[in-house]
Amino acid sequence: MLSLDLHPIFRNNRDIELALRQFLFRANHSGERVVEIIPGKGSGRLKARVLAFLDQKHIRRLYVRREVDAGNTGRILIYFQ
């Protein structure tokens, strides 16, 4: 399973968006069915930023659905076809 850990770049908005965009395009083209993004638990601001990014109309077209892992709220699962 492909994974993107955002802990090392959590302070830089531009780096976060670039990392998310590159990761989703790579995951979409790799044929993986499920990938994970790890924003961490913390205050929840990074997770909210990631979810807002994923909900953008042009990004939403890349994947089938997304969910916050019920057992680990610091992990977001992205499902592709």
Torsional sign, CA 19, 71, 69, 48 = negative
CATH number, residue 23: 3.30.1370.110
Span 12-44, pLDDT tens digits: 889 999 999 999 999 999 999 999 999 999 899
pTM: 0.93
What is the number of structural domains in the chain? 1
Give the side-chain half-sphere CA count within 13 A for 42. Answer: 15
Give the model's pLDDT for residue 37: 98
Which of the four pLDDT bands, split at 50, 70 and 90, describes residue 62? very high
Q: How confident is the model at residue 10 (pLDDT cuts 50, 70, 90)?
A: confident
Domain extent, residue 30, equals: 3-79
